[in-house]
Structure 1
Amino acid sequence: MISALTRVVEHIEAHLGDELDIATVAHAHGTTEYHLRRMFSSLAGMPLSEYVRRRRMTVAASDLVGSEDLLTIAVRYGYGSTEAFARAFQAVHGAPPSAVRRDGGPLRTQPQLRFRLTVEGSSPMDTRIVDHPAFRLIGHAARVPLIHRGANPAIQAHIASLPPAEHARLKGLSDTEPAGLLQVSDGVDPDYAEGTELTYLHGVARAAESSVPPDLDVIEVPAGTWAVFRSSGAYPDALQTVWAATATDWFPANPWRLRPGPSIVSILERGEDFSTATCELWLPVEREPQP
């Protein structure tokens, strides 16, 4: 994975003005575009698309010092008009190209990323691999923004809108793993960009052959393999720490990669005020092909 990410960065530098062909780079390294984008976002702390934009505008800033017309520079970095280029430039640097050409700044530089393998992993991760038949996730769904750290107010409001009796009814409908009430995230942006929308479902897992009440939303989940990570401690901090560690520690050290599908959190135990919890994080995975 580290070599694939390094190759992506090199590819970006060599083709700053071209459309980024991540699928080809991923295939050349025996992985998928989906997994590569998710790992890049987790390790770099920004979506791949945002890194490309920052690098383009960092290099483009040096071109403004010369006498080339703005349209020539814009086209060089993949923009069809000076207006589109100027919007992207100002979003990165906080100043329009005209101000930078006149005053030489201000500029915000995005250095070229370098991925290196570091020896960590002193704390073992409690993980199991599960081959699961097709099942259904049923419950109440809402569109919410993606938030990386801390509680998500939109999710909190969605859960609070459900009457207490509904939580008990949902729990009674659970008849397969993952057990109990679930927090399901589906349709997440491949770049895992904060603020993008996803579908959040508060519900339970039900066997594919089991009936579903007509008032509930349904996510059909095909048969497949899941990596299941357990976390215990302050909620949601401990869970978010384990989630981040899957990218930094677990995936680089194991022959598995993410595949498209929902991510699922099962709350196994919780404190009365929900400040602490023991959870299982279910991530859809598939084996990396042998070289």
Structure 2
Amino acid sequence: MEKLQRMTECIAYIEDNLEGELDMEEIAKIAYMSKFHFQRMFSMLTGYTVTEYIRNRRITKAAQELLNEDARVIDIALKYGYESPEAFTKAFRNIHGISPTAAKKNSHSLKAYPKLSFQIQLKGDVEMDYKIVEKDAFTVVGKSISTTTVGGENHRTIATFWDESNVNGFTAELAINCGELGLLGICLEFDQKLENITYLIAAEKNIEEVPSDWLESEIPSSTWAIFPVHGAMPDAMPKVWQRIFSEWFPSTGYEHSGGPEMEVYLSNGDPASENYYSEIWIPIKKK
């Protein structure tokens, strides 16, 4: 569980530097991970993006100082990295629902985001099956959306995207030309700060002429860790994702290679059935 210990060290570093510059590369180095992998693991373990956590902690600390110290709003704003009182007031209001000035008069309305801590435990009661496979590059076709990861909005948006695609006939049309992997849900791209992702509902390309409103993308050659998912959609999938990042990565010699991730929905079976079988594919490399 060495990786989870390093994540705890990252939290300590963030706390010690809330008043200064926090560089994502430096934080990731403490965890001995790439910036990409650190941000993915942090998000999966905590439900927050790193930048969201830092922002919430800074606003929490700022609120405490507003109430307990005779400090001006502008001084606290600059102390926690805001360029102007207006920017600070906007961020403060988004978290607490009131302005910094009003907070001085009514502290009962404030929220607090406590410092995170990681419970480092050995979980051997439930085995986690997986296999490692090599797969050459292949082309997929489908439709995509861009969604923010802040506050878990991506989960809600992606679920709606699937619902709409099932209702409007897109997934049925896509399924006619599916390869052996069936329908794919692909986290195609992550922005630098992990605030947005591009998500693609797709299938392996098996047709020459692709509809004009479909996207065509190449999935690079990779070594994949493949995890079986047993159970009805959509509830079964998030549980396995969480275990991958909280248990599997910390206890193995692999790390995320930074490429697209795939949810594989095989053609056979009813996704609403408790016996439904699907898979999660994650590109990996040796540490």
Per the TM superposition, whether the score is higher than 0.5 is: yes
Between the aligned partners of 2:247 and 2:77, the Cα distance in structure 1 is 40
RMSD value, Cα: 2.6
Q: 1:254 to 1:102 in 2, by over 3 A?
A: same
What does residue 131 of structure 2 align with? 128
What does residue 278 of structure 1 align with? 277
Equivalent of 2:50 in 40, 48, 57:
48
Between the aligned partners of 1:191 and 1:26, the Cα distance in structure 2 is 12
Give the superposition deviation at 1:77.
0.2
Between the aligned partners of 1:69 and 1:243, the Cα distance in structure 2 is 45
Between the aligned partners of 1:161 and 1:267, the Cα distance in structure 2 is 19
Q: 1:191 to 1:240 in 2, by over 3 A?
A: farther
Establish whether residue 224 from structure 1 lines up as the match of residue 227 from structure 2.
no
What does residue 103 of structure 1 align with? 106
What does residue 93 of structure 2 align with? 90
What does residue 63 of structure 1 align with? 65
> What code does the residue aligned with 1:72 have?
D
Give the superposition deviation at 1:151.
7.5
What does residue 237 of structure 1 align with? 235
Give the superposition deviation at 1:190.
6.4
SS at match of 1:279: strand
Deviations 1:63-121 (A, max 9, x none): 21332221111000000100111111122222211111123342211111111311213
Give the superposition deviation at 1:28.
4.3
Equivalent pair of 1:144/1:154 in contact (CA under 8 Å): no
What does residue 4 of structure 2 align with? 2
Between the aligned residues of both structures, percent identity stands at 30
Equivalent of 2:174 in 155, 167, 179:
167
Which runs of 5 or more residues in structure 2 are unaligned? 148-152
SS at match of 2:266: strand
Higher mean displacement: 264-273 or 113-122: 264-273
Deviations 1:122-150 (A, max 9, x none): 11112011122222222x21215454379
Give the superposition deviation at 1:5.
1.2
TM-score with structure 2 setting the length: 0.85
Which runs of 5 or more residues in structure 1 are unaligned? none
What does residue 268 of structure 1 align with? 266
Give the superposition deviation at 1:16.
0.7
Counting only pairs closer than 5 Å after superposition, residues 6-21 of structure 1 correspond to structure 2 as: 6-21=8-23
Equivalent pair of 2:62/2:76 in contact (CA under 8 Å): yes
Deviations 1:205-235 (A, max 9, x none): 67xxxx8434352211222211100111222
Equivalent of 2:144 in 142, 145, 164:
142
> What code does the residue aligned with 2:199 have?
T
TM-score with structure 1 setting the length: 0.84
What does residue 82 of structure 2 align with? 79
Establish whether residue 33 from structure 1 lines up as the match of residue 16 from structure 2.
no
Between the aligned partners of 2:34 and 2:189, the Cα distance in structure 1 is 17
SS at match of 1:202: strand
Q: 1:13 to 1:117 in 2, by over 3 A?
A: same
